[in-house]
Amino acid sequence: MSRKLILFFGVLLRMSKVRTRFAPAPTGIMHIGNIRTALLNYIFTQQYQGACILRIEDTDEKRNIDPQADQLIQHLTWMQLSFQEGPHVGGPYAPYFQSQRQPIYEQYLKTLQEKNLIYRCFASPEELETKRQRQLAMKQPPRYDRAYANLTPEQIQAYLDAKTPFVWRLRIDSNKLVSFADLARGTLTFDLKNFSDFPLTRQDGSFTFIFANCIDDIEMKISHVFRGEEHLSNTVHQIVLYQLLQAPLPIFWHTPILFNTNGKKLSKRDRGFSLEDLKNQGFLPEAINNYLMLIGNSFAHEIMSLEEITKNYNFNNLSTAGQAKYDIEKLLWVNHKWISKYNAKKLLELCLPFLEQAYPQTIKNISTEKLQYLLSKIQTDLHTLAEIVPALKFYFKYEQIHATLLASILPETQVVLFLEQVKQDIQQAVSEADFVQKCKQNKPALIASKEYWGALRFILTGSQIGLAIHDIVEGLGLEVARTRILNV
């Protein structure tokens, strides 16, 4: 089937029910790749007025660190992604935790067993690893060798009597080809001779991702499966299951894997990998959503709300590339643009938690109006909300400047002259504006303007760069500015 035909059937789906799912495992941090997958499922479903399902794939009990998926759901809520069905909203195909769906999997496993499509494999992990290493050493693809595929009933019973752990494996017909529709690439066909019998269960009796994931998609009538390129081989295995169970195939899309700017697969060592880290650094959910949808796409206007993204994202022109570049610098730019859009009230609401954490005592003594004024002066310089802390440090956490430090800014012979003049100006000033005006009028001719204003800014804030002098003085107030200057 060509891409055009697949897309044609996609259009027909507007008249039926589109059902997608985001199915994370609560086994680690929510990373940016997870969010991109969730976002694509969400947007596609919104375009087709369908249902997007949240399903928690928690069958690997040993690795679960968020058993109730509370943190996972909080992250998705923060990202403004809503689901029509899931553990927190219910739905007709509950439960939505895989750990609570064991009886369903057991019934499907029994069906496959009755049809002699599966068999017990008693190989230990050590035995499998030894064979794998041997195959690799011989430059052969590492595949299961079906060592336990044809045991006699007596041999099976002997293993069972000895209480030897086993897994159930699905028999693959290596003489067949399987095909399925991919939204980006059209029809994909694979020769099963390149795939080996795969496990449906673990030795502890729990079910594998490949099996449980497929059964849930069948049971929940999922029409489209969007997931990363790395799942392509899993899809082939699941197509075999779909066909053996005579279930209709969904349309797939294997999205590009995110790589960093050095061309390596994105990992936890890369800045911006963890959603929690991005949140703590002051990135906005609007900006993250916005940037993730820019990856590999071109839009007339790059800064878009989630509603605008949903309206403008084109699923009819998807890239066939296996990877996409994740550029934290571009994300910073998008975040900067979003920060610049907010009014003073909204920006203060977003920045306040960062200020309260950094300056818990002094923040209590500042008015909302003063905070909004200070924020308005630095808003266009912020790339993340966390940058508000060092940007306003001069107001909340000032360390008195010693005159000797000015020698690194001004010619040493001019330090005394400079201090005498600015101290005279601040003593005579009757307002913030009056002080700034006196400075402009009385600046000693011997001192260059850049050095003069840099030295004055250093006295007031502890840094030579930053806000304009009139904004600093206005923000501090005349009395605070006077104290800081006279104490040098």
27-to-31, 58, 482 alpha-carbon distances in Å: 11, 8, 56
87 neighbors 93 (Cβ within 8 angstroms): no
In terms of Cα–Cα distance, which of 144, 203, 152 is closest to 170?
144
Question: Which residues are designated catalytic?
Answer: 268
* Ramachandran class of 167: left when φ > 0, alpha when ψ lies in -120 to 50, beta otherwise: beta
Residue 305 tokens, joined: 């709300």
52-72 b/e with 16+ CB inside 10 Å = b? Answer: bbbbbbbbbeeebebeebeeb
**Separation between Cα atoms, residue 38 and residue 25, nearest integer Å:** 13
**CB under 8 Å to 180, separation ≥6 — which residues?**
187, 188, 235, 239, 249, 252
CA count, 13 A, side-chain hemisphere, 268: 4
Give the 3-state secondary structure of residue 254. strand
- Return the residue matching tokens 């002098």: 469
Strands (E), 176-260: 177-182, 186-191, 198-199, 224-228, 251-255, 257-259
Dihedral sign of CA atoms 368, 372, 378, 383 in order: positive
Greatest C-alpha distance within the chain: 105
| ω into 142 cis (within 30 of 0) | no
